[in-house]
Structure 1
Amino acid sequence: MSNFSYKDIYIEDGKRVLEMNILPEKYCNFDCIFCPIGRSHNKIDTQQTFSDISESLNELEHKLMNNEVDLVFINSKGEALVNDKIENVINLVKSKGLAVRLLSNGYILGRVEYMKIANKCDEVIGEIKVITDKDFQKIQRPIDGYSFHEHISSMISFNKQYKGKFILEITILKGYNDSEEAVSKLRNIIDELSPDKIIIERMDDDRFKEKLGISDEKFHAISKALLNK
């Protein structure tokens, strides 16, 4: 039985994308209050062996051989880097001449062992949800000892040596990073990170939209301020 799961292939910027999850359940170093997957009962930042993935790799290879795919997007239930077989997945995709995109919350990208793995990917996405350590601890509920400063520093360290396309995904949350002061701080963080691309998101999950969502007008104004930086 395969331990991976997939979304239907979709088109993005003219490319056929296969999006996949390589974790059996949620394993993450954060426990964000707004996570659509739910609570983190397995809060870790070290690699784990989940099971033999021979069958899962065979299934992935079959999908790549029997479908027209340009890019494989590793978007998992948590932090995909904690799967100790992630390199096997990346190597398989690359052996087919295809591009790999990896989504990470970004906190462990600066660690040498994870940096080496992420460097194999053509695109890496890092995330920002807040702008202060107080809010980082309150709503992202990371592993004890984590700090917002280290979160940003880790992504900066990674991107300084990364040769691929680093994408910064910023989620605007009402009351946390939607003020003029907050947007100014986000602009400074963007300067420090120097991403190749910025994606601005907002809370669109109905379960959290009322508390954390922002209006269309405000979203467009903030997006303009950040994307025109």
Structure 2
Amino acid sequence: MKNNFSYKEVYFEEGKRVLEINILPEKYCNFDCVFCPIGRSKNKVDMPTEFEDYDSSISELNDMIEKTNPDLIFINSKGEALVNNKCEQIIDFIKSKGLKVRLLSNGYILSKDEYINIANKCDEVIGEIKTITEGDFKKIQRPIDGYTLEKYVENMVEFNKQYRGKFIFEITIIKKYNDDLESIEKLKEIIKRINPDEIDIVRIDDERMKKTMWVDNERFEEIKRELLSR
């Protein structure tokens, strides 16, 4: 039987055993970021999409839970996990095991009721941002036509206003795109608007892009201190 899910080795985070799971058979995303380590988006979508072999994939997930005995399942997929039309059932299954769920979403579609309802079932939701101008958003994140950066931010703002779990805001610092003083001030304004429970500052870690997009350690630590001192 074919399984559409894939897993990473269980790891510890703050004393908890975390099992990371991808629930997409290949990349399905509403963005097509130039720096994505998975590669180009052949399937550029933001609507629920049906995949085969759900039953066998859930059976394997059950086996993985019994084998690894995690405390938390982190749904971190090849693209936007929410477009899997069985995402809600997957979350319900995990919760039925008495486990906590963390969901990574890029955050854009968190304005749609069907996705809000699914994300609200999770104990933790991660939203993210990588660019802070409309031009750069379209140039290097290559979203679905009609998307705007302002709407992107607003979707996360509105979602977090009603969300009762832990909202984690992940900011990727990219050389020459958002590592200057003006960009940092804009990011601070966005943080204030979203009002996340936790902020995670990261860098591009794709080896192909490090030469042009990697922020050096000293500058990266300066930015982290500035963004976290709220």
Q: State how 1:44-193 maps to structure 2 within 5 Å.
A: 44-193=45-194
5+ residue gaps, structure 1, are: none
What is the letter of the counterpart of residue 158 of structure 2?
S
Q: Is the 8 A contact 2:126 2:168 kept in 1?
A: yes
C-alpha separation in 2, matches of 1:121 and 1:36: 26
C-alpha separation in 1, matches of 2:100 and 2:152: 26
Q: Percent identity?
A: 59
SS at match of 1:206: coil
C-alpha separation in 2, matches of 1:50 and 1:97: 26
Per-residue deviation, 1:204: 2.4
C-alpha separation in 1, matches of 2:207 and 2:27: 21
For residue 226 of structure 1, what is the aligned residue in structure 2?
227
Per-residue deviation, 1:107: 0.2
SS at match of 2:109: coil
What is the letter of the counterpart of residue 76 of structure 2?
N
Q: How many residues align?
A: 229
Q: Is the 8 A contact 2:30 2:46 kept in 1?
A: yes
TM norm structure 1: 0.99
Q: Is the 8 A contact 2:4 2:23 kept in 1?
A: yes
CA shift digits 1:119-178 (9 cap, x unpaired): 000000001001111110000000000000010010011100000000000000011100
Q: Is the 8 A contact 2:36 2:206 kept in 1?
A: no
C-alpha separation in 1, matches of 2:205 and 2:5: 26
Per-residue deviation, 1:206: 1.5
C-alpha separation in 1, matches of 2:91 and 2:195: 25
For residue 13 of structure 2, what is the aligned residue in structure 1?
12
TM norm structure 2: 0.98
Per-residue deviation, 1:106: 0.3
What is the letter of the counterpart of residue 176 of structure 1?
Y
Structure 1 runs (4+) deviating above 6 angstroms are none
